[in-house]
C-alpha cells in the first residue's frame, strides 16, 4: 500500500513541477514592484495598464490574433476535407498519404522554417503575412487532421447514404448532413490550430517580415536576462486567452448543439 | 481489367487534393530545395551564387565546431528524453489506476500545458531559478545562504526548461498505452505467484512500451530540433544544432550554410525516426490524439 502512496506523492510532485512556474507568472503579473521577479511588494494592476498603452505590444497582439484566426480557418478547411477522404473512402496508398499529411510534425520546425523561407526567397517572394499564414497552416494541419479524423470515425456513414438515397446531391449532402455532423470536430480542430499559431515562435522568427512581431516574438525580443513586469502581465493575458478561448468556445459549442438537438 | 478501372473512385482524391497540394508545395519541394541550395556558394552577407560545390558540406564535415554541436545536441536530447521518461511514466501509471473520482481533471490538467504559451512556460523558470527567483528568495529568507545561488543560464536550466515543456507529450503517450492494457493481467500474474514488482516488470511494462517509445521519440525529436529554449535559459556555451541554423540564417545571413545545416539536421533526425518506425511502427504516435 505504501508503494501506491509513493506513486501518488510522486504524481503530485510532477504536477507541481508542471504548474508551479506558470502559477508564479500569473502571480507576479499583479506585483507592484519595478522588477519582474520576487519579492512581491504589493498588489497592483499597473502593469496591465502599461501593457494596454504599449503600442508595440498592442500591434503584436492584433497580428497574432489575425494570424491565429486565419490559420484556424485555412487549416481546418484543408484538414476536414482530407480527413473525410481518409475516414470515408477506401483507396490505394492510404498509409502513405496519411504519413505525408502527418509529415510536418516529424520535420523539425527549424528545418521546416528555413526550407520554406529559402524556397520562397528563391522564387523572389519576400517575407510577408501570407508566408506566416501559409507556414502556420502547414504546422497546424497535421494536428487538425489527427483531431478531426479521430472524431469523424465516430460519425456513422449511414446518415449521408440516407440523404443520397432520398435524392440529395453530393454538395447538398455535404452542407446539410456531413458538415453539421462534423462541426464539433471542426471546432476542436480550429481551436487546436488557433492555439498552435498563437503560440508559435520557432518558425515565426524565421518567417516574419522585418518590423512585424507576433506576441511570442515580441516577448522574446523584450527578454534581456531578466523578465520585465510587463512580460508577466502579458503572460497573464496570453494564458487567459489560450486557456479561456477554448473553454469559452467549448461551452458555446456545447450550448449550440444541445439547443439544436432539443 | 475493366473491373479495376470501375472500382477507381476519384472522390477521395478531390477531397485530398488541396491538402496534398499545399504539403507538396510548402514542405516536400522546399525540403528538396534546401539540398540543392546547400551546394550554392555564399559570397557576402545575404549574397550567394548559383554553384555546384561542396564547400558548405566540407565545412560541416571538417570543422570541429559543428561536430561538437551535433554531439551536444544528441547528448542533450538523450538526457532530456531519459529524464522525461522517468518523470512521466509514474504519473501516467497513477492516472490509469487511480480510483480518484475526478480523473478527468487530472487528464485535463495534462492537456492544459499545450494551451499555455511555450515562451511563457520557458521564461517562467527565470522566476524560479533566477537570482531574484523563488528558490533563492526562500533560501535567503531562511538564512541558509546570503548570496543568491547562480542556477540560471547554464546547461541545467536548459534541460529543466526542455523537460517542463515536453513532459506532457511523454505522460500522454504512456497514458494512452497503459490505458489499453487489460486490468486483469496484473492480478492474474499475482495469483500465479509474481511479486507486485515482478507482475509490473514482466506484464505491464512490456505492454506499455509502444507508448513509452512514442513519447521518447517525440521528446527526442522535439528537443534535438529546438533553438529557442537554449537562447532563453542557456548561457553563451549552451547551443544546440538548431542554434547554428539560427545563427547562419538570422545573424550571418549565410543562406547556403543555413540550408546545409538544416538538411544535415533533417537527415540526422530522419535516421532516428526511420530506425524507430522499423522497430515500433508510427501508428502509436497518432493514438494520443484519439
- Would the pTM count as exceeding 0.80? yes
Q: How far is A245 from chain B (nearest CA, A)?
A: 10
Least reliable range by pLDDT among A97-106, B26-35, B84-93, B164-173: A97-106
Q: Is B160 on the interface with A (CB under 8 A)?
A: no
| Mean model confidence pLDDT for chain A | 85
Q: Which CATH number fits domain B60-287: 1.10.3720.10, 1.10.510.10, 3.60.20.30, 3.40.50.720?
A: 1.10.3720.10
pLDDT at A261: 61
Question: What's the pLDDT band for A175 if we cut at 50, 70, 90?
Answer: confident
Question: What's the pLDDT band for B285 if we cut at 50, 70, 90?
Answer: low
> Has residue B261 got a pLDDT over 90?
yes
Q: Would you call B16 and A88 a contact, using CB atoms and an 8 Å cutoff?
A: no
Q: Is A121 on the interface with B (CB under 8 A)?
A: yes
- Give, to the nearest 10 degrees, the angle between helix A55-88 and helix A129-152: 40
Chain A residues whose beta carbon lies within 8 Å of the beta carbon of residue B28: 100
pLDDT tens per residue across span B163-195: 999 999 899 889 888 888 888 888 888 888 888
Give the ipTM. 0.86
Q: What DSSP assignment string belongs to A21-50? A: HHHHHHHHTTB-SSSSSSSP--B--HHHHH
| Mean model confidence pLDDT for chain B | 86
Q: Is B72 on the interface with A (CB under 8 A)?
A: no
Domain A54-261 CATH class label: mainly alpha
| Separation CA B168–CA B106 (nearest Å) | 12
Scan for cell 503572460, then name that residue: A235
A43 strand-pairing partners: A31
- pLDDT > 70 in chain B, percent: 94
| Separation CA B245–CA B225 (nearest Å) | 10
Per-residue cell: B6:
470501375
Q: What is the mean pLDDT of residues B248-257?
A: 90
pLDDT tens per residue across span A181-237: 888 888 888 988 998 999 999 999 999 998 889 999 999 988 866 678 888 899 998
Q: What is the mean pLDDT of residues B68-92?
A: 93
Most confident of A24-38, A63-77, A148-162: A63-77
pLDDT tens per residue across span B95-133: 888 887 777 778 878 777 777 888 999 999 988 888 888
pLDDT at B1: 42
pLDDT at A239: 87
**Among candidates A10, A35, A138 on the partner chain, residue whose Cβ is nearest the Cβ of B26:** A138
> Has residue A117 got a pLDDT over 80?
yes
Q: Would you call A114 and B245 a contact, using CB atoms and an 8 Å cutoff?
A: yes
Mutate to test the interface with A, among B84, B127, B173 (most CBs of A within 10 A): B127
> Has residue A69 got a pLDDT over 90?
yes
Q: What is the mean pLDDT of residues A43-70?
A: 89
Question: What's the pLDDT band for A167 if we cut at 50, 70, 90?
Answer: confident
pLDDT at A36: 67
> Has residue B44 got a pLDDT over 80?
no
pLDDT at B7: 67
pLDDT at B288: 60
**Domain limits, chain B:** 60-287
- Distances in Å between the Cα of B273 and the Cα atoms of A108, B206, B227 are 11, 21, 20
Q: What is the mean pLDDT of residues A166-178?
A: 84
Amino acid at each position: 500500500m505504501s508503494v501506491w502512496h509513493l506513486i501518488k506523492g510522486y504524481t503530485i510532485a510532477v504536477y507541481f513541477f508542471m504548474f508551479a512556474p506558470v502559477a508564479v507568472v500569473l502571480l507576479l503579473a499583479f506585483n507592484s514592484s519595478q522588477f519582474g521577479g520576487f519579492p512581491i511588494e504589493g498588489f497592483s494592476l499597473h502593469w496591465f495598464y502599461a501593457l494596454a498603452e504599449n503600442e508595440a505590444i498592442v500591434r503584436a497582439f492584433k497580428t497574432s490574433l489575425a494570424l491565429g484566426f486565419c490559420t484556424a480557418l485555412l487549416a481546418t478547411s484543408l484538414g476536414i476535407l482530407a480527413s473525410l477522404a481518409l475516414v470515408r473512402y477506401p483507396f490505394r496508398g492510404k498509409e502513405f498519404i496519411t504519413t505525408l499529411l502527418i509529415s510536418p510534425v516529424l520535420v523539425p520546425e527549424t528545418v521546416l522554417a528555413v526550407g520554406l523561407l529559402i524556397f520562397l526567397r528563391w522564387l523572389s517572394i519576400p517575407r510577408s503575412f501570407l508566408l506566416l499564414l501559409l507556414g502556420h497552416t502547414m504546422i497546424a494541419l497535421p494536428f487538425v487532421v489527427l483531431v478531426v479524423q479521430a472524431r469523424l470515425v465516430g460519425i456513422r456513414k449511414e446518415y449521408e447514404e440516407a440523404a443520397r438515397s432520398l435524392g440529395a446531391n453530393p454538395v447538398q449532402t455535404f452542407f446539410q448532413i456531413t458538415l453539421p455532423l462534423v462541426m464539433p470536430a471542426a471546432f476542436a480542430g480550429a481551436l487546436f490550430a488557433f492555439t498552435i499559431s498563437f503560440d508559435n515562435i520557432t518558425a515565426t522568427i524565421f518567417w516574419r517580415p522585418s518590423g512585424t512581431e507576433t506576441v511570442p516574438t515580441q516577448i522574446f525580443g523584450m527578454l534581456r536576462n531578466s523578465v520585465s513586469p510587463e512580460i508577466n502581465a502579458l503572460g497573464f493575458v496570453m494564458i487567459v486567452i489560450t486557456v479561456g478561448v477554448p473553454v469559452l468556445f467549448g461551452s458555446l459549442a456545447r450550448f449550440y448543439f444541445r439547443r439544436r438537438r432539443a | 481489367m475493366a473491373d479495376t478501372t470501375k472500382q477507381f473512385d476519384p472522390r477521395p482524391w478531390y477531397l485530398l487534393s488541396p491538402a496534398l497540394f499545399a504539403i507538396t508545395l510548402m514542405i516536400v519541394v522546399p525540403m528538396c530545395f534546401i539540398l540543392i541550395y546547400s551546394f550554392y556558394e555564399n559570397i557576402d552577407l545575404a549574397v550567394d551564387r548559383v554553384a555546384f560545390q561542396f564547400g558548405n558540406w566540407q565545412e560541416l564535415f571538417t570543422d570541429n565546431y559543428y561536430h561538437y554541436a551535433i554531439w551536444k545536441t544528441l547528448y542533450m536530447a538523450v538526457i532530456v528524453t531519459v529524464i522525461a521518461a522517468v518523470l512521466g511514466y509514474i504519473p501516467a501509471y497513477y492516472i490509469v489506476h487511480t480510483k480518484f473520482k475526478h480523473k478527468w481533471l487530472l487528464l485535463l490538467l495534462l492537456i492544459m500545458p499545450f494551451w499555455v504559451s511555450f515562451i511563457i512556460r520557458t521564461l517562467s523558470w527565470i522566476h524560479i531559478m533566477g537570482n531574484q527567483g523563488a528558490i533563492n528568495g526562500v533560501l535567503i529568507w531562511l538564512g541558509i545562504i546570503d548570496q543568491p545561488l547562480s542556477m540560471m543560464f547554464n546547461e541545467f536550466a536548459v534541460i529543466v526548461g526542455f523537460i517542463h515543456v515536453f513532459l506532457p507529450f511523454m505522460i500522454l503517450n504512456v497514458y494512452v498505452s497503459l490505458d489499453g492494457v487489460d486490468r486483469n493481467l496484473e492480478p492474474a500474474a499475482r495469483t500465479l505467484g509474481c511479486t507486485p514488482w515482478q507482475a509490473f516488470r514482466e506484464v505491464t511494462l512490456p505492454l506499455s512500451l509502444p507508448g513509452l517509445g512514442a513519447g521518447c521519440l517525440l521528446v527526442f525529436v522535439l528537443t534535438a530540433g529546438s533553438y529557442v529554449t537554449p537562447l532563453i535559459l542557456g548561457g553563451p556555451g549552451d547551443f544546440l544544432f538548431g542554434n547554428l541554423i539560427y545563427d547562419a540564417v538570422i545573424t550571418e545571413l549565410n543562406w547556403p550554410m543555413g540550408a546545409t545545416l538544416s538538411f544535415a539536421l533533417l537527415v540526422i533526425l530522419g535516421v532516428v525516426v526511420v530506425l524507430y518506425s522499423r522497430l515500433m511502427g508510427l501508428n502509436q504516435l497518432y493514438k494520443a490524439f484519439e
